[in-house]
Amino acid sequence: MKIVLAYSGGLDTTVSIRWLKETFNADVITVTVDVGQKDNFEDIEKRAYIAGAIKHYTIDAKKEFADNFISYAIKMNGLYEDVYPLSTALARPLIAEKVVEVAKKEGAEAVAHGSTSKGNDQVRFDLAVKALYPDVKIIAPARIWNMTREKEIEFAKARGIPIKSESSKYSIDENLWGRSIEGDDISDPSKEVPEDAFEWTKKKNNGKITLSIEFEKGIPIAINNEKMDLVKIIQVLNEVVGSYGFGRVEHIENRVVGFKSREVYEVPAALVLINSHKDLEKTVYSPLEFRFKKYIDSQWSDLVYQGLWFEPLRETIQLAGDNLNKWVIGEVKVEIEGNGMRILGRTSRYSPYSEKIASYNKGWYPSDEMARGFIEIYGMHSLLTRQVRE
């Protein structure tokens, strides 16, 4: 039997290679998808072979991740329960897609992934694979083998399989859009998150920094007037604003799999981009568009979080999102200080804002008669309803 495994290089998936090989007498092919995690892909490949893989693929999908997934996370202000930018959730369907491509090419009977039975990621992987390759078998070793983390380490050591040293403490998932940290002391929600959980947002710079971000049809295209592609913009922002200590999210999260969990994220670029994008949307949309967009944003975020990337409604929502984002063109100035962000100002040629109309000092004032007439008719519904209830 041939099995294609989504391989991160971490403890669970490294042990999975050997476990699959021993349990199913299988040829295991590993696929590591580069979605922007700061890993050494040569070391990962070596580890795959030592653990028993017969063939390994490293696939650079950073551009695809940015252009087809993150771009929508920005356009749809993707935040689960208002705070989590969906970094892990967004990459899963893409990783599954790459694994399926290899499985088809290699003629494999099964695909495998390292998710456990407690997490959301298993739902995202399984549903993506079922959508793209309904006939293939799905094996999730960690759902079957009943090993604790210590047992896994023992299993690896007994077979001379090297594991990453930091594997033992937190469960980390990293990509271009963010770093998710779970486990160990984080699991006690009454305690402050230990400083050693953080990596991208260690404070190296005090003081504040001002940035201008330019958007074209909802997508960021330049920082401080310097044009860059989306991958670069995200990398630069993570690096720069992360060094001021910005980008930490601490969350009591409602998982798909029926329980609450304490989650920590480092998402500097995601927060800067989504918050500035939201501001620009508010600047250009009509009030009805703005209210409608808020509703579809949260629907989109829920679908992505819940592993329903391939639910047809997502595309319909995105079509509406694309149409609205046609007008999200302009520039937003922001200031970052520590873990705080402030919008300093924004400009857009599609902004209906008129200083002449809004200002108290000059210009437009409706007449007393116009104002009275407007208020009378505007409030009539409420006043009549009140009256009949008195």
The catalytic site residues sit at: 12, 92, 121, 171
Distance from C-alpha of 186 to C-alpha of 193, rounded to nearest angstrom:
6
Residue 298 CB, shortest distance to ligand ARG, in Å, is 16
Distance from C-alpha of 174 to C-alpha of 320, rounded to nearest angstrom:
30
Q: Which is nearer to ligand ARG, 183 or 338 (CB)?
A: 183
Residue 38 CB, shortest distance to ligand ARG, in Å, is 15
Residue 110 CB, shortest distance to ligand ARG, in Å, is 21
Q: Answer yes or no whether residue 89 interacts with ligand ARG by CB under 6 A.
A: yes
Residue 180 CB, shortest distance to ligand ARG, in Å, is 4
**For 231, how many CA atoms within 13 A lie in the half-sphere containing its CB?**
13
Q: Answer yes or no whether residue 126 interacts with ligand ARG by CB under 6 A.
A: no
Q: Which of 180, 283, 325, 348 is close enough to bind ligand ARG by CB under 6 A?
A: 180
Q: Which of 45, 97, 214, 263 is close enough to bind ligand ARG by CB under 6 A?
A: 263
Interior/surface letters 340-352, b for 16+ CB within 10 angstroms, e for the rest: ebeeeebebeebe
Q: Which is nearer to ligand ARG, 185 or 253 (CB)?
A: 253
Distance from C-alpha of 136 to C-alpha of 126, rounded to nearest angstrom:
11
Residue 94 CB, shortest distance to ligand ARG, in Å, is 14
Round the CA-based radius of gyration of the chain to a whole number and report it.
25
Q: Answer yes or no whether residue 301 interacts with ligand ARG by CB under 6 A.
A: no
Q: Which is nearer to ligand ARG, 115 or 276 (CB)?
A: 115
Q: Single out the residue of 176, 25, 32, 35 nearest to residue 114, CA to CA.
A: 32
Exposed (0-12), middle (13-18) or buried (19+): which is 51, by Cβ within 10 Å? Answer: buried
Q: Answer yes or no whether residue 37 interacts with ligand ARG by CB under 6 A.
A: no
Q: Which is nearer to ligand ARG, 121 or 126 (CB)?
A: 121
Residue 204 CB, shortest distance to ligand ARG, in Å, is 25
Q: Which is nearer to ligand ARG, 180 or 325 (CB)?
A: 180
Q: Which is nearer to ligand ARG, 80 or 155 (CB)?
A: 80
Distance from C-alpha of 202 to C-alpha of 335, rounded to nearest angstrom:
18
Show the tokens assigned to 314: 């997502």
Q: Which residues from 155-174 bind ligand ARG, rule CB under 6 A?
A: 171, 173
C-alpha separations of 24 from 16, 19, 21, 53 in Å: 11, 8, 6, 13
Say which residues have a Cβ less than 8 Å from residue 322's Cβ, sequence separation at least 6: 75, 218
Q: Answer yes or no whether residue 182 interacts with ligand ARG by CB under 6 A.
A: yes
Q: Which residues from 96-125 bind ligand ARG, rule CB under 6 A?
A: 120-121
User: What's the farthest any 2 CA atoms get from each other in the chain?
Assistant: 88
Tell me the site size for ligand ARG, rule CB under 6 A.
10
Q: How many CB atoms lie within 10 A of CB 185?
A: 14
C-alpha separations of 154 from 161, 184, 204, 222 in Å: 10, 19, 37, 49
The residues that touch ligand ARG, with contacts defined as CB under 6 A, are 88-89, 120-121, 171, 173, 180, 182, 253, 263
